[in-house]
Amino acid sequence: MSSGESVGVSMLGSQKCSLAKSLTTPQCAQINDTTGDVMLCCGRRVSLYTLNGELLLDQEVCSDGKDQILSCAFYEGTGNEWLERSILFTGHKRGCVNVSHCSSN
């Protein structure tokens, strides 16, 4: 897939959502089992979508111009733990890990 093409993700069974046309092929993707949010990481950018395909966040998270995101994960809590914010982890070159949060407000 080249830059400028859309990324299609099936959400809610048969519904298909076309996500951010400026995305290149994602290096990694993660679905939050608690909220259903979808995180896509492309190069230096993180995009976060709701289960229905609504864009919540599209942000560059790398401080170094040569860095890129290699892995991603959500913290979903343990047991019945209530989380006020979505906590996102991104893994980068040289073992660096960024921890970010996204508030629902």
Confidence band, pLDDT 50/70/90 cuts, at residue 73: very high
Per the structure, the complete domain to which residue 65 belongs is given by 26-103
3 state DSSP class of 95:
helix
pLDDT of residue 34: 85
Q: Rounded distance, CA 54 to CA 68, Å?
A: 24
Q: H/E element holding 102?
A: strand 97-103
Residue 2 within any structural domain of the chain: no
Residue 21 within any structural domain of the chain: no
The total number of structural domains that make up the chain:
1
Q: What is the DSSP letter of 56?
A: E
Residue 3 within any structural domain of the chain: no
pLDDT of residue 15: 41
Residue 55 within any structural domain of the chain: yes
Query: CA angle, corner 80, sides to 90 and 59, nearest 5?
Result: 25
Residue 31 within any structural domain of the chain: yes
Q: Is the pTM of this model over 0.85?
A: no
Q: Rounded distance, CA 71 to CA 80, Å?
A: 26
Residue 1 within any structural domain of the chain: no
